[in-house]
Amino acid sequence: MRVVTLPRPDDFDAWRDAARGLIADQVPADEVVWQVGDVPTDLFAGEAVAHAPPPPSSAFSVPRPFIDLARTVVQASEPERFCLLYTLLTRLRREPGLIEDRADPLVRRLDTLAKGVRRDMHKMRAFLRFREVQDAEGARFVAWFEPENHIVRANAAFFVNRFASMRWSILTPEVSLHWDGKALSEGPGATRADAPDGDPVEEVWKTYYANIFNPARVKIGAMLKEMPRKYWKNMPETQLVPQLIAGAQARESRMIETARTEIGGNSLAAWEALRDEAAACTRCHLYKHATQTVFGEGSVDSTMMFVGEQPGDNEDLAGKPFIGPAGQVFDRALAEAGIDRSRAYVTNAVKHFKFEQRGKRRIHSKPGAGEIDACRWWIEQERMLVQPQVTVALGATAARSLLGRVVTIGRERGRPMPLADGGQALITVHPSFLLRLPDEEAKRVEYTRFVEDLKAAHALLA
Partner 1 sequence: MAQLDTRQKLGILADAAKYDASCASSGTAKRDSRDGKGIGSTEGMGICHAYAPDGRCISLLKILLTNSCIFDCHYCINRKSSNVRRARFTAQEVVQLTLSFYRRNYIEGLFLSSGIIGSSNYTMEQLVEVARSLREDHHFRGYIHLKTIPDADPELVHQAGLYADRVSINVELPTVSGLKRLAPEKDEKRIEGAMADNKTAIIDNKDARKKYKSAPRFAPAGQSTQMIVGADAATDGDIVRRASTLYDQFGLRRVYYSAFSPIPDASAVLPLQRPPLMREHRLYQSDWLMRFYDYRPDEVVAAADEATGMLPLDIDPKLAWALKFRDRFPVDVNQAPREMLLRVPGLGVKAVNAMLASRRWRRLRLDDVARLTVSVAKLRPFIVTEDWRPVLLTDKADLKPLVAPKKQQLELFAA
Question: Within positions 132 to 161, which residues make up the interface with partner 1, using CB under 8 A?
Answer: 132, 141, 143, 158, 160-161
- To the nearest whole angstrom, how small is the minimum distance from the Cβ of residue 329 to partner 1? 30
> Given the complex with partner 1, which of 221 and 410 has the nearer CB atom?
221
Residue 406 gets which letter from DSSP?
-
Nearer to partner 1, 56 or 105 (CB): 105
Nearest CB to partner 1, comparing residues 33 and 177: 177
Q: Is 74 helix (H, G, I), strand (E, B) or coil?
A: coil
d(CA 449, CA 462): 22
DSSP string, 237-248: GGGGHHHHHHHH
CB of 290 to partner 1, least distance (A): 16
Q: How many CB atoms lie within 10 A of CB 270?
A: 15
Is the CA virtual torsion 238, 195, 168, 6 positive or negative? negative
Q: Which 3 state secondary structure label does DSSP give 312?
A: coil
Q: Which of residues 87-126 bind partner 1 (CB under 8 A)?
A: 97-98, 100-105, 108, 122, 125-126
Within 10 angstroms of residue 74's Cβ, the number of other Cβ atoms is 26
Of 160 and 318, which has the nearer Cβ to partner 1? 160
**Structural contact between residues 398 and 351, judged by C-beta atoms closer than 8 angstroms:** no
Residues in contact with partner 1, shown as a per-residue x/- string from 380 to 409 under the rule CB under 8 A: -x--xx------------------------
Query: Least distance from C-beta 132 to partner 1, angstroms?
Result: 7
* Strand pairing report for 390-394 and 424-428: parallel
User: How are strands ordered across the β-sheet holding 130-135?
Assistant: 130-135, 138-144, 168-171, 175-179, 184-188
Return the number of the residue (215 or 416) whose C-beta is nearest partner 1: 215
Of 48, 256, 417, 461, the one binding partner 1 (CB under 8 A) is 256
What amino acid is encoded at 141 in this protein?
F
Q: In the range 189-228, which residues lie near partner 1 by CB under 8 A?
A: 199, 201-205, 207-223, 226-227
Q: Which of 14, 33, 190, 241 binds partner 1 (CB under 8 A)?
A: 241
Q: Of residues 265-284, which lie at the interface with partner 1 (CB under 8 A)?
A: 265-267, 269-270, 273-274, 276-284
Query: Applying CB under 8 A, which of residues 355, 378, 447, 450 lies at the interface with partner 1?
Result: 378
Quick one: 164 or 459, whose CB is closer to partner 1? 164
Part in contact with partner 1 (CB under 8 A); list of ranges 11-19, 52-60, 129-137, 354-362: 129-137
Residue type, 407: V
Nearest residue (CB) to partner 1, 71 versus 118: 118
Q: With CB under 8 A as the contact rule, which of the stretches 51-59, 83-91, 363-371, 392-400 interacts with partner 1?
A: 363-371
Partners of residue 390 on adjacent β-strands: 304, 424
Q: Which stretch binds partner 1 (CB under 8 A): 85-93, 342-350, 372-380, 393-401?
A: 372-380
For 365, phi then psi, to 5°, come to -130, 135
Instruction: Please pick, from the candidates 54, 127, 336, 455, the single residue that binds partner 1 as defined by CB under 8 A.
Output: 127
Cα radius of gyration rounded to whole Å, the chain? 38
Smallest gap from Cβ 404 to partner 1, in A, equals: 13
- Of 71 and 443, the one with the shorter C-beta distance to partner 1 is 71
How far CA 88 is from CA of 30, 110, 301, 319, in Å, comes to: 12, 9, 76, 76
Q: Which of 287, 298, 334, 290 is nearest to 314 (CA)?
A: 290
Near partner 1 by CB under 8 A, which window of 39-47, 84-92, 246-254, 443-451? 246-254
What residue ranges in 10-114 does DSSP mark as E strands? Answer: 32-36, 47-49
**Shortest reach from residue 249's CB to partner 1, in Å:** 7
The dihedral region occupied by 187, where left means phi > 0, alpha psi between -120 and 50, and beta the remainder, is: beta
Count interface residues toward partner 1 (CB under 8 A).
99
In whole angstroms, how far apart are CA 165 and each of 194, 356, 420?
23, 77, 59
397, 403 contact by CB (below 8 A): no
202 or 331: CB nearest partner 1 = 202
Stretch that binds partner 1, among 31-39, 86-94, 245-253, 444-452 (CB under 8 A): 245-253
End-to-end C-alpha distance for the chain, whole angstroms: 91
Smallest separation (angstroms) from partner 1 to the CB of 46: 34
208 vs 55: CA distance, rounded Å:
59
Q: Which of 165, 191, 261, 357 binds partner 1 (CB under 8 A)?
A: 165
Subset of 301-340 contacting partner 1 (CB under 8 A) = none
Is 250 near partner 1 (CB under 8 A)?
no
Distance of closest approach, residue 416 Cβ to partner 1, in angstroms: 23
Which residues does 312 contact at the CB level (< 8 Å), separation at least 6? 324, 326, 353, 364, 432
